[in-house]
Amino acid sequence: MHRTRATLHKEAFATATGVRFGGEVTLRLAPAEIGEGIVLERTDLGARWPLDLEHSAAGPGCSTSGEGEAAVHFVEHLLAALWARGVSDCVVSVNGREIPLFDGSVRPVLALIDAAGVARSQEPQQPLVIEQPLLSSDEERAVCALPGRPTSYAYALSYQHPMIGRQFASFHPDSDDFDAQLAAARTFITIEEAEQAQKAGLLAAGSEENCIVIHRDRVSQPPELPGAYARHKLVDMIGDLYLLGRPLVGHFFGFYTGHQQNHGIAREILRWCGGE
Ligand SMILES: [Zn+2]
């Protein structure tokens, strides 16, 4: 994995539909000073803040960053893409309340980062090292962080749904290929969840372009990879954990977890683990 801090060579931007609140949203990535961290900016409000754990929360079906009306939804895929490319310092701007979901995978954001180019410094990145077992759970979901190296991430899910069932995915950053194994795994939503989200005003403009819609007896588009839903949840977990802004050393295992537990384990890691 990348062990030195990095920013971008130049700016890159893309415009797409905001699935949650509607309208067009432009996502812009720009270079930052090395050491500045990842900064999130609402250009329509003139507000900016660190895109980190302290300024973020688990929202409805996504992670959000920022306070109240300024909050930006869907920061997790962007964070996973920045993590995958080892970008530690950059300015992320949006002119609305959400990061575009694009096709629901990380690929479009990776393409944006690659268009901007990664500028790696000599400045070392201080990893957070898991030194004791940590757990964040409720009655049916759990995520744990365990000591050990090389670092690994794994995720298992179990849905009482004929088109989903049980799936497992794992990823080893030192030896696996993020682009081949995780980048194509798209967001998925059951038709029931989609209808609920629409009623709750949380899906103003989403379509089958933005995610895989799972009906009782079919899916809107068959996933490209086996275990694709577990792979996508792994992307979400990796993205949420990058709110810590540092590489992690340890084993991370999520079972049926969502953003709530991901934020919980990130807070535990911040509380209990140090650098090396
Ligand atoms: Zn996701």
Where does a domain end: 124, 145, 166? 124
DSSP one-letter string for 158-172: E-S-TTT-EEEEEE-
- Give percent above pLDDT 90 in the chain: 76
Quote the pLDDT of residue 3. 83
Residue 112: DSSP 8-state: H
Separation of alpha carbons 99 and 77, rounded Å: 9
Which of 231, 139, 145, 218 shows the shortest CA–CA distance to 184? 231
Q: Is 259 a residue of the active site?
A: yes
- 9 and 121 Cβ atoms separated by less than 8 Å: no
Q: Is the pLDDT of residue 275 over 70?
A: no
Q: How far is the CA of 229 from the centre of ligand 1 (A)?
A: 10
Token digits of residue 112: 């944006």
What is each CA distance from 85 to 5, 35, 101, 262, in whole angstroms?
11, 16, 19, 21
Residue 21 has pLDDT above 80, yes or no: yes
* Of 78, 105, 124, the domain-final residue: 124
Q: Average pLDDT of 128-149?
A: 94
């393409």: which residue's tokens?
111
| Same structural domain, 135 and 255 | yes
Q: How many CB atoms lie within 10 A of CB 256?
A: 19
Q: Are residues 132 and 73 in the same domain?
A: no
> Is residue 177 located within the same domain as residue 260?
yes
Whether 57 and 267 have beta carbons less than 8 Å apart is answered as: no
Please tell me which residue in 77, 232, 259, 263 is annotated as part of the active site.
Answer: 259
User: What CATH number corresponds to the domain at position 83?
Assistant: 3.30.230.20
Q: What residues does the ion ligand 1 have nearby, CB within 5 Å?
A: 187, 236
In terms of Cβ atoms closer than 10 Å to its own Cβ (0-12, 13-18, 19+), residue 41 is buried
Question: Do 208 and 261 fall within a single domain?
Answer: yes
- What pLDDT score was predicted for residue 224? 83
User: Among 63-67, 75-79, 196-200, which stretch is predicted with the lowest mean pLDDT?
Assistant: 196-200
Mean pLDDT to the nearest integer, 189-213: 87
Which of the listed residues 69, 90, 124 is the one where a domain comes to its end? 124
The average pLDDT across 159-180 equals 94
The pLDDT tens digits of the residues spanning 214-249 come to: 898 898 898 888 999 999 999 999 999 999 999 999
Q: Predicted confidence band at 113 (pLDDT cuts at 50, 70, 90)?
A: very high
Residues 208 and 149 in one domain: yes
- Structural domain tally of the chain? 2
Which percentage of the chain shows pLDDT scores above 70? 98
CATH label of the domain that carries residue 136: 3.30.1700.10
The answer on pLDDT for 1 being more than 80 is: no
Q: 141 with 18: CB under 8 angstroms?
A: no
Same domain? 270 vs 135: yes
Averaged over 104-122, what is the pLDDT? 97
Do 117 and 133 lie in a common domain? no
C-alpha 225 to ligand 1 mean position (Å)? 16
**Shared domain check, 179 and 92:** no
User: What 3-state class would DSSP assign to 86?
Assistant: coil
Decide the pairing of beta strands 251-255 and 152-158. parallel
Question: Cα of 140 to ligand 1 centre, how many Å?
Answer: 20
Which range of residues forms the domain containing residue 70? Answer: 4-124
Rounded to the nearest angstrom, the distance between the alpha carbon of 77 and the centre of ligand 1 is 6
Angle between helix axes 76-84 and 107-116 (nearest 10 degrees) is 50
How does pLDDT run across 37-46, given as a tens digit for each residue?
999 999 999 9
Nearest to 9 by CA among 25, 24, 29, 26: 29
Predicted pLDDT at 203 = 84
Q: What is the mean pLDDT of residues 18-22?
A: 89
> Average pLDDT in the 244-273 region?
95
d(CA 99, CA 261): 21
74 CA from centroid of ligand 1 (Å): 8
pLDDT score for 2: 63
> Does residue 76 surpass a pLDDT of 90?
yes
Q: For residue 206, what pLDDT is reported?
A: 78
Residues 102 and 164 in one domain: no
Q: Are 74 and 206 within one domain?
A: no
Could you tell me if 159 and 115 lie in one domain? Answer: no
* C-alpha to C-alpha distance for 211 and 253, rounded to whole angstroms: 24
CA–centroid distance, 60 to ligand 1, in Å, is 12
Residue type, 100: P
- 119 with 135, same domain: the answer is no
Please list the helix, strand and coil fractions of the chain in percent, rounded to the nearest 5, in that order. 25, 35, 40
pTM, two decimal places: 0.96
Q: Is the pLDDT of residue 273 over 60?
A: yes
Nearest alpha carbon to residue 242 among 271, 226, 262: 262
CB 100 within 8 A of CB 25: yes
- 61 C-alpha to ligand 1 centroid (Å): 8
